[in-house]
Amino acid sequence: MNILQSFKMAWRSIAGKRGRSILTILSIFIGIAAVMTIVSVMEGMKDYTRQQYSQMGSNKITVSIYSWMWDENGNSTGKDYFPDLYNYCNSISEYVLGVSPQGYVNATVSYGTKTTANAQYEYDEQTGRVKSAPPRSFYASDQYLIVNSYELAKGRNLTLLDIEDYHQVCVIGPEAANYFFERMNPIGKKLLFNGNEFEVVGLLSPKGDGTEFNQNDNVILLPYTTRRVLGGEAPTEFQVQARDSESLPIAMSLIGGFLKGLVDNRTGGYNVYSESNWQQYENQYLTMISLVLGGIAAISLVVGGIGIMNIMLVTVTERTKEIGIRRAIGAQKSSIISQFLIEAGMLCGMGGLVGIFFGTIGSLVLGNLLYHITIWPLPWVTAAALGLSIFLGLIFGSYPAWKAANLQPVEALRAE
C-alpha cells in the first residue's frame, strides 16, 4: 500500500465516524488555541514594549540625585546639580551625546479660552483609546531633543542662551499644538504659564504615525532655569543619551564616579541606571509568564493526546478483522503502522488548523482588550502550532499503530 492509499483510507475512517472525529479534534484545538494565544499575546506585548522604549530613545541612562534634607515647608534643600552634570557630560562627549533634566512643570497653561486647569482626558467610545488630553510640560536643556529622540518640524530648538538668560520661550509637540492652536501655525504664539508669557519658538515632528493620539507628542518644553520664574525645586531626575551601546556602560561608570565625588552622602544620594536594563527585566518577566501560562495550557494538549490514543485504540479494536485480512494477504507491519499513524496525524493536524484559526482570533481580541493594539500571531508561532499538533498525533498514535501491526493474522480474522 502506498502513502496516497494510506491517506485515502485514513480520510474515509475519519469521515465515517464524524461525531467521534469532531470530539477528538476539539480536544486538540482547545490546547493549540490556548498555547498559540498566550505565546502570540506575550510576543506582541514584547514588541509593543520595544516600540515604547524605542520612542523614548535607546542607549539612555537615567540619573537620580536626591536629598535627605528638607526645610520647614517640606521642600528639599538639595542644591541644583544639573550645571555640574551638564558640564561633565559635555566633557566626555566621546561617550555621551546629550543630557537633560526630566522634571514636570507644575503650572496651569492657557491660550485664550483653552486652559489645562480643568482639562479632562477624552476617550474614543468604540476603542477606549485616549483621543485628547491636556499637554504635559517639562523643564529641559538644549539637548532634550537629542536625549529623547525628537526632531524639529518648524522653528528652532531651545538654546544654551535661552537657559543661561532665563528666556521665556518654549518648544511644543504636535498634539499640544493641536490642543491649543488647532490648525494655526504655533510659531510666535504666546502661552501663559501661571500668567507668565512664554513664546512658542519651535514645533516638534510627530513621534506617532498620526492616525491616533500619542502622549509623546503631547509635550511642552521650557528652559529648565525658568523654574525660578514659575517656582519649584531643583531638578532631581536627569536623562543622559549615550553615543551607542558600546559607550553605554562606560558612560554609566564615568557618571557614577563623578557623582560619587560630587554628592555628599551625608545629605543625599544618587542612582545611575540604564533604561535598557528595565527593558531586559521586563522581557524576562514576560517570558517567564508566557512559559508558566503556556505550560498550564500545554496540559490540555497532553489530555487531548491521551484522547487521541484512546480513540485510536478503539479504532484498532473496531478494525481488527480488516487488519487480519490485510496481514493474511501479505501486508507488511510497516504498512499497518503508517496507516494508523497517518490517521492519528490527520486528526491532530485538523485540530491544529482549527486551533490556529481560533488562536488568531483570540490574539486579536486579547490584544485589543488588554493593550489596545492589534496582535497577529508570528509566522513561526503558526508553523510551530501546526507542527506540534501533527507531532502529538504521531507520538500518541504510535502505541495503537504498533498494537495493530503486531496483531496475529489468525486471531485477528477470528475477531467479531
Exposure class string for 239-258: b at 16+ Cβ within 10 A, else e: bbbbbeeebbeebbebbeeb
139: β partners: 103, 222
Q: Does residue 172 carry a pLDDT above 90? A: yes
Question: Is residue 110 a contact partner of residue 191, using CB atoms and an 8 Å limit?
Answer: yes
Rounded to the nearest 5 degrees, what angle is found at the Cα of 345, between the Cα atoms of 342 and 346? 85
The x, y and z cell numbers of residue 214, run together, are 500619542
The pLDDT assigned to 281 comes to: 67
Cα separations in angstroms, 242 against 62, 153, 245: 11, 24, 7
Give pTM, 2 decimals. Answer: 0.58
| CA angle (6 as vertex; 5, 11 as ends), nearest 5 | 95
At 319, is the pLDDT very low, low, confident or very high (cuts 50, 70, 90)? confident
> Within 13 Å of residue 398, how many CA atoms lie on the same side as its CB?
6
What contacts 171, CB < 8 A, 6 or more positions away? 140, 145, 152, 155, 157, 158, 200, 201, 202, 203, 204, 220, 221
Instruction: List, in order, residues 6 or more apart from 77 with CB less than 8 Å away.
Output: 67, 69, 70, 71
Other CB atoms within 10 A of residue 33 CB: 25
Residue 272, C-alpha cell as written in the block: 545611575
Q: Average pLDDT for residues 183-190, to the nearest whole number?
A: 93
Calpha distance 393→10 (Å, rounded): 13
For residue 55, pLDDT beyond 70: no
- State the Cα–Cα distance between residues 4 and 345, nearest whole angstrom: 14
Q: Give tens-digit pLDDT for 241-284.
A: 998 878 888 999 999 999 999 888 887 889 998 866 666 666 67
Q: How confident is the model at residue 93 (pLDDT cuts 50, 70, 90)?
A: very high
Contacts of 209 (CB under 8 A, 6+ apart): none
Of the candidates 6, 30, 66, the residue with the CA atom closest to the CA atom of residue 302: 30
Q: Give the Cα separation of 181 and 362 in Å (integer).
A: 41
User: Is the distance from CB of 259 to CB of 272 less than 8 angstroms?
Assistant: yes
Average pLDDT along the chain: 83
